[in-house]
Amino acid sequence: MPRLPPSIIAVALVALVLPTLPGAAAEMVVELAGDWKVRVAHTAAGVMAAGTFVVAPPDIVEVLNEKIPTLPLFNSTVPGWVKGVALKEVKAAECTVIRALDPDSLVVKTAPGREGAILERGRDWEADSEWGTVGRLAEGRVAEGQPVWASYRAALRRIDSVVRLTDGTLELVHGEPQIVLCEPPSIPAGSERLVNVYLPGRIETLSDANLFPILESVCPPLAPDQPPQARARLPETLRRLEAGEKLKILAWGDSVTTYGRWQSMFVERLKARYPQADIELVTEAWGGRNTGSYLAEPPGSEHNYREKVLDARPHLIVSEFVNDAGMTPADVDRQYGRLLADFRDIGAEWIVLTPHYVMPEWMGPGFLERGQRDIDDDPRPYVAGLKAFVAAHPEPVVLADAARRYGRLWRQGIPYLTLMENNINHPNVAGHRIFADALDEVFGTPD
């Protein structure tokens, strides 16, 4: 498919190094200097460097005559990413990328080239402009099984970085455009990344929401001066790890857990911390479901709670249920209280993972407007309920706070949505590593 040439690399308009008083505290100023300009001033080791940079607008993909073998009926009652056929250049893992499509550019024809008749939107076909899906209309001119050809433009996502070079000057490094999972670019050896500029697809100008100054390199420990939670709350798990006795761990969750990533990382870290450990890892996960789904399944079903969770007789259960995020604190207290009683009955200990951050529109009122910045505190009542529940119960339950780590990604210059493979709620490998980091913290800092 023909593509537009990539946007030119952003260039520095001004790059100067100014002396300042020796011993002055390091500081940085980041501000917009125009629709597509960013000014950065950074002081380090008594030297201030400043630069104003032109940031290239989002890279555009132009698609001509993409063949769609058949158009399903447009379904306006379902989520946008499944209302019709997903246009190829806006696809993510299982979904499409919101606000990537330029809706005014979309043309659907009966054949490629000049011989194709242009089909009419609203009469022959309809599209979800936000999500880039297309379907035919029942009374239109597109028959079931009839191929059509679509032409359109889509904006890619990109992260650029302002860095301080070893000679003290500032430079803007252009990132690699991607429809999803864009990453900060590689930077010259010895340089320091100061600011990431995030272009989330189709935008008209830069705003403060696109600027991600690097405020910390890693997530700080939750309670560095306190004993690890495992010592007080998971005594049997810790005893088995230290003694080299069999430890059966059940990873229990939804679609995120079906990938098998975070739990494997966690076990690898436990083995590194306790070389003598004898660990058996079992996964019980059900995509698109939650704890209530398990509890509702009858005996003999594939995901019956008693048969697949309790009868597995694990020593340690680690649960991940972002699909429980609609719960209120009262819901958590009631339902998780039942789970805790059941786990105590079989002698199992329990680590509850707080969920990762998901699509901003799903995080609660006012969250979208923050632009994935200033989001340290998870606003979901479910997360508050988990914290209150664990605080109210002694052993054998402990909280592994992955949500806290996701909430601080913006401080590290990372828009958290760039870790979602499907642009909605399925983390990539780096996102799963955050779960493993939270679980690792339960056991403290390795000696």
Q: CB-hemisphere CA count at 13 Å for 384?
A: 9
For residues 315 and 194, membership in a common domain is answered with: no
Helix axes 381-392, 329-345, angle to 10 degrees: 40
What span, in angstroms and rounded, lies between the C-alpha atoms of 207 and 186? Answer: 24
State how many domains the chain has: 3
For residues 131 and 39, membership in a common domain is answered with: no
Beta pairing class for 246-253 and 316-320: parallel
Of 132, 155, 178, which residue is a domain's last? Answer: 155
221 falls within a domain: no
- Give the pLDDT of residue 2: 38
- Residue 178 pairs in a beta bridge with 157
Query: What does the radius of gyration of the chain's CA atoms come to, in whole angstroms?
Result: 25
Instruction: Please give the span between the terminal C-alpha atoms of the chain, in angstroms, as a whole number.
Output: 55
Contacts of 276 (CB under 8 A, 6+ apart): 242, 243, 244
332 falls within a domain: yes
For residues 356 and 207, membership in a common domain is answered with: no
- Give the pLDDT of residue 298: 98
For residues 340 and 435, membership in a common domain is answered with: yes
Interval 101-135: pLDDT, tens: 999 999 999 999 888 999 999 999 999 999 999 99
Provide the H-helix boundaries in 380-447: 381-392, 402-407, 429-442
Amino acid 156 reads L
C-beta neighbour count of 205 within 10 angstroms: 11
Record the pTM. 0.91
The answer to whether 378 and 354 have CB atoms below 8 angstroms apart is yes
- Give the pLDDT of residue 7: 34
The answer to whether 235 and 304 have CB atoms below 8 angstroms apart is no
The token duo for 221 is 């420990």
- Give the pLDDT of residue 446: 53
Unique residue bearing structure tokens 């000057």: 169
266 falls within a domain: yes
Domain carrying residue 105: 60-155
- Give the pLDDT of residue 225: 66
The answer to whether 149 and 108 have CB atoms below 8 angstroms apart is yes
For the chain, give the mean pLDDT.
93
96 falls within a domain: yes
447 falls within a domain: no
C-beta neighbour count of 133 within 10 angstroms: 27
The answer to whether 303 and 286 have CB atoms below 8 angstroms apart is yes
C-beta neighbour count of 166 within 10 angstroms: 10
99 falls within a domain: yes
Interval 352-365: pLDDT, tens: 999 999 999 999 99
For residues 430 and 281, membership in a common domain is answered with: yes
- Give the pLDDT of residue 75: 98
Reduced to 3 states (helix: H, G, I; strand: E, B; else coil), residue 368 is helix
What span, in angstroms and rounded, lies between the C-alpha atoms of 250 and 339? Answer: 14
Closest by alpha carbon to 32, among 195, 157, 184?
195
DSSP structural state of residue 118: B
- Give the pLDDT of residue 394: 84
Quick one: which H or E segment has residue 38? strand 37-44
For residues 380 and 331, membership in a common domain is answered with: yes
Provide the H-helix boundaries in 15-71: none
Q: In what order do the strands lie in the sheet with 157-164?
A: 170-173, 157-164, 192-200, 211-213
For residues 38 and 187, membership in a common domain is answered with: yes
223 falls within a domain: no
For residues 209 and 246, membership in a common domain is answered with: no
For residues 378 and 296, membership in a common domain is answered with: yes
- Give the pLDDT of residue 379: 97
147 falls within a domain: yes
- Residue 117 pairs in a beta bridge with none
> pLDDT tens, position by position, for the chain (447 residues)?
333 333 333 334 444 444 443 444 569 999 999 999 999 999 988 899 999 999 999 999 999 999 999 999 999 999 999 999 999 999 999 999 999 999 999 999 999 988 899 999 999 999 999 999 999 999 999 999 999 999 999 999 999 999 999 999 999 999 999 999 999 999 999 999 999 999 999 999 999 999 999 999 999 998 776 778 999 999 999 999 999 999 999 999 999 999 999 999 999 999 999 999 999 999 999 999 999 999 999 999 999 999 999 999 999 999 999 999 999 999 999 999 999 999 999 999 999 999 999 999 999 999 999 999 999 999 999 999 999 999 999 889 999 999 999 999 999 999 999 999 999 999 999 999 999 999 999 998 654
- Give the pLDDT of residue 228: 86
